[in-house]
Chains A and B, each alone.
Chain A
Amino acid sequence: MATNQNQSPKQNSTEPKPCLSGRGLTKVFGVGKVQTVAVDHVDFDFNEGEIISIVGESGSGKTTLSKMLLGLISTTEGTIEYQGKPRDISTNAKKKEYWKNIQPIFQDPFSSYNIFYKIDAVLDDCLNMRGFKNLPEEQKIQMKTEACSFVNLKYAELTNKYPFELSGGQMQRLMIARIFLLKPKILMADEPTSMIDACSRATILDMLLKLRDEINMTIIFITHDIGLAYYISDKVYIMEHGKFVESGSAEDVIINPQADYTKRLISDVPKIYEKWDLDTVAN
């Protein structure tokens, strides 16, 4: 898994199926004079099983787009299609159904947890959501243990801990364990490594890729680091001031950038062609 070519989508042989599309998607914050156009008429088709990176500087609207796709905030204009059909989250029941298919990992692990509840509660929520509420206790514990060991955490040591007793890296790994349990079709990873220390960073990326292979999901990977996007993704969308200024396969966009903004992003990353070996960094 050391090179980009190895991670090309599994559906390569067949026709790519779009699982999440946007048409003229727009988000405007505020009213009257103090309006911010955070996302400005973007169009996209994210294909099933691919890793799609959305790359842009801070404030370019990446998080806003991801929240719209997650259904956490309303859209001002435009439509979102899920698996070829207009997405319908008009009722709570429909929202719940949609959220079985799309789940996030947020940027800041420290604010992702309710500090008043033990870690076990987070994992139990996942099992409940998948309808495993009435499973025998041993079976539940086994599933939770499996999920934790997938991200190199020891479930037995965690059950009675509070989130704030973990490091940022551990918290983010637990978020991956959560995804492992939920097995959604789409993972929305919003700069999942930007708030944690450099050593944990590679581990997290490694685990995300491992998770993709394990449950075969689409990953929308949001980052400000174009080098990281090149390393990890099949498709890259470059975002500037709420617009997609360039998109295409990772190779095309980064080896042969067209937009000035992309060129600038690339020149900001000094050693973009020297891909590091994740396994050596992680160990």
Chain B
Amino acid sequence: MKNTIKQVFHSGKFLFGFIIFMLILLTVIIYPIFVTADPLAMLGQGNFFKPGTYASIEESALSKSYTLQIPKEFSKLEAVLDIETRAEIQQFLINQAGVAESEIDVTDAEGLVSLWKANYDQNTKYAGLTTAKRKALKRLDNEITAAMKDSGVIIAEKDEEGNLKQSKVIKDTDYVNIKDVTTKTFVLGTDNFGRDVLTELVAATKSSLKIGLLAGLIATAIGLLLGLLAGYMGGLADNIIIFITNLFTVIPSFVILILISYSVGDSARGIAMVGIIIGITSWPWTTRSVRSQVISLRNRDHVNLSKLSGHSMFRIIFTDILPYIASYVVMAMILQISSGILAEAQLSMIGLGPATTKTATLGLMMQWAMQYSAHLNGSWWAYFPVVILIALISFSLNLMNTGLDQVFNPQLRD
């Protein structure tokens, strides 16, 4: 037994899957210890704020300012001079002002602007330009002039009479220390309800794992029990169980899942209920595979010898059959957990998932993102991490399964 466990952890595949799964599990457990906020608190007023740190504008304006001579990525000039504008300026300088092309460097905004100022005059009527173009250039000149003024932003306050009075000028070299202002970081942005996607994702993963585990345990328990009885007893018991199993197999289990979920009703569909519903519709597969394993075992000589030693059926099932298929059952359960998580996602996508406003699940997050067209308006952070997480959970569980398979079925080993 100890040896087998050692062997299992020597399997690279199992270990890799196990580590990924444990990382997910640990995150789910540890994250809420540090972030105690309600995962479904609506922090943002509006849809889909992109990932990043948000700082209070009011506090920034009122905080002590520091003058720093740091070239900024965001400058008004850079904002005016986009690529097309630069090309336009270059055209003008070459064609109308006669500047040599080698002198122009479009990547250097300041150089470009000084060339522009030296050569452009609003009152000159340049030849070879349409009226519209002339007007456009005039507008551009005004914009550049405005952008170059370093008057900054004026903060005004109302005095007693209600007149605005300038109280502060914010220059473009003014900075606040980020510690002086209130900030909020949304690592994965916010969703359609303005909820922090990361916090929501962690909570959703937890609920989805719960659903998967519950579904996997139920499916495995039912499947194992029926499979053992059908396989070992044979005869009438086998026929009845196989009949029921076939009934469940002929109708695709997802259809049954939908029907049951629908008939249970919105209000009753909590996390546990969805887990139970998925569990009681997905056992036939386990029943079938356990049954065939048991059939191949029940005529083995050690089982015959156990019978001849006067052992009862239950004792034989538990001591002479179950230990032989235990590893197989563990693998079947891992697959059931994985498919339970996927089933929840599918159910939620068609609106039959857990109907609760208190917790999120991975499936519900997908549904919300779809409903609010996150995929159409480029809000990748609302659905992409969810997809990744579903894939990771499923991948790690299947990897563990393959690893176990290689240990327990040595002929598969390479």
Residues of A within 8 A of B (CB): 67, 70, 72, 92, 96, 99, 103-104, 106-108, 111-117, 125-126, 128-129
Whether the pair A111, B310 counts as a contact (CB closer than 8 A) is no
Whether the pair A129, B301 counts as a contact (CB closer than 8 A) is no
- Lowest 7 A-B CB distances belong to which pairs? A106-B301, A116-B323, A125-B309, A112-B301, A96-B310, A114-B302, A111-B301
* Docked CA distance A64–B312 (Å): 23
Take A99-B310, A103-B308 as given contacts and tell me if A117 and B301 are in contact as well, using a CB distance cutoff of 8 Å: no
Whether the pair A114, B310 counts as a contact (CB closer than 8 A) is no
CB-CB under 8 A from B304, the residues of chain A are 67, 70, 72, 104, 106
* Docked CA distance A72–B306 (Å): 11
Is B305 interfacial (CB 8 A cutoff)? yes
* Docked CA distance A126–B309 (Å): 7
Q: Across the A-B interface, how many residue pairs have beta carbons closer than 8 Å?
A: 46
* Docked CA distance A106–B303 (Å): 12
* Docked CA distance A129–B309 (Å): 7
Shortest CB–CB separation between residue A250 and chain B, in angstroms? 28
Whether the pair A70, B308 counts as a contact (CB closer than 8 A) is yes
Besides the known contacts A114-B302, A114-B323, 18 further A-B residue pairs in the complex with CB atoms under 8 A apart: A67-B304, A70-B304, A70-B308, A72-B308, A99-B308, A104-B308, A106-B305, A107-B301, A108-B301, A112-B305, A114-B306, A114-B319, A116-B319, A117-B319, A125-B311, A126-B309, A128-B310, A129-B309
* Docked CA distance A65–B301 (Å): 15
Is B168 interfacial (CB 8 A cutoff)? no
* Docked CA distance A117–B300 (Å): 16
Is B344 interfacial (CB 8 A cutoff)? no
The residues in B between 302 and 327 inclusive whose CB is less than 8 angstroms from any CB of A are 302, 304-312, 319-320, 323-324
Interface centre among B304, B306, B324 (most CB of A within 10 A): B304
Interface centre among A67, A70, A72 (most CB of B within 10 A): A72
The residues in B between 282 and 340 inclusive whose CB is less than 8 angstroms from any CB of A are 300-302, 304-312, 319-320, 323-324
Q: What is the chain A residue whose CB lies nearest that of B302?
A: A114
Whether the pair A114, B301 counts as a contact (CB closer than 8 A) is no
CB-CB under 8 A from A67, the residues of chain B are 304
CB-CB under 8 A from B302, the residues of chain A are 111-115
CB-CB under 8 A from B309, the residues of chain A are 99, 125-126, 128-129
Q: What is the chain A residue whose CB lies nearest that of B323?
A: A116
Shortest CB–CB separation between residue B342 and chain A, in angstroms? 34
Shortest CB–CB separation between residue A62 and chain B, in angstroms? 15
Mind listing 16 A-B residue pairs with CB under 8 Å? A72-B308, A103-B308, A104-B304, A104-B305, A111-B300, A112-B305, A113-B302, A113-B305, A114-B306, A114-B323, A115-B302, A116-B324, A125-B309, A125-B311, A128-B309, A129-B309
Residues of B within 8 A of A (CB): 300-302, 304-312, 319-320, 323-324
Shortest CB–CB separation between residue A94 and chain B, in angstroms? 12
CB-CB under 8 A from B305, the residues of chain A are 104, 106, 112-113
Interface centre among A107, A126, A129 (most CB of B within 10 A): A129
Take A108-B301, A112-B301, A112-B302 as given contacts and tell me if A72 and B307 are in contact as well, using a CB distance cutoff of 8 Å: yes
Shortest CB–CB separation between residue A99 and chain B, in angstroms? 5
* Chain A contact surface mostly: mixed
* Docked CA distance A195–B306 (Å): 21
Shortest CB–CB separation between residue B317 and chain A, in angstroms? 12
* Docked CA distance A115–B321 (Å): 11
Whether the pair B310, A129 counts as a contact (CB closer than 8 A) is yes
CB-CB under 8 A from A70, the residues of chain B are 304, 308
Shortest CB–CB separation between residue B303 and chain A, in angstroms? 8
Shortest CB–CB separation between residue B75 and chain A, in angstroms? 75
* Docked CA distance A275–B301 (Å): 32
* Docked CA distance A72–B301 (Å): 10
Shortest CB–CB separation between residue B74 and chain A, in angstroms? 70
Q: What is the chain B residue whose CB lies nearest that of A112?
A: B301
CB-CB under 8 A from A96, the residues of chain B are 310
Shortest CB–CB separation between residue B300 and chain A, in angstroms? 5
Q: What is the chain B residue whose CB lies nearest that of A92?
A: B312
Whether the pair B308, A114 counts as a contact (CB closer than 8 A) is no
* Docked CA distance A209–B364 (Å): 75
CB-CB under 8 A from A107, the residues of chain B are 301
CB-CB under 8 A from A128, the residues of chain B are 309-310
Interface centre among B302, B320, B323 (most CB of A within 10 A): B302
Shortest CB–CB separation between residue A89 and chain B, in angstroms? 11
CB-CB under 8 A from B324, the residues of chain A are 116
* Docked CA distance A172–B323 (Å): 23
CB-CB under 8 A from A111, the residues of chain B are 300-302
CB-CB under 8 A from A72, the residues of chain B are 304, 307-308
CB-CB under 8 A from A112, the residues of chain B are 301-302, 305
* Docked CA distance A108–B319 (Å): 20
* Docked CA distance A100–B308 (Å): 8
CB-CB under 8 A from B319, the residues of chain A are 114, 116-117
* Docked CA distance A108–B304 (Å): 12
Shortest CB–CB separation between residue A3 and chain B, in angstroms? 33
* Docked CA distance A116–B302 (Å): 11
* Docked CA distance A279–B307 (Å): 35
Shortest CB–CB separation between residue A234 and chain B, in angstroms? 25
Shortest CB–CB separation between residue A139 and chain B, in angstroms? 20
Shortest CB–CB separation between residue A36 and chain B, in angstroms? 15
CB-CB under 8 A from B320, the residues of chain A are 114
CB-CB under 8 A from A108, the residues of chain B are 301
Shortest CB–CB separation between residue A235 and chain B, in angstroms? 24
CB-CB under 8 A from B310, the residues of chain A are 96, 99, 128-129
CB-CB under 8 A from A117, the residues of chain B are 319
CB-CB under 8 A from B306, the residues of chain A are 114
Q: What is the chain B residue whose CB lies nearest that of A188?
A: B308
* Docked CA distance A67–B299 (Å): 11
* Docked CA distance A39–B304 (Å): 20
* Docked CA distance A99–B312 (Å): 13
CB-CB under 8 A from B301, the residues of chain A are 106-108, 111-112
* Docked CA distance A112–B306 (Å): 9
CB-CB under 8 A from A113, the residues of chain B are 302, 305
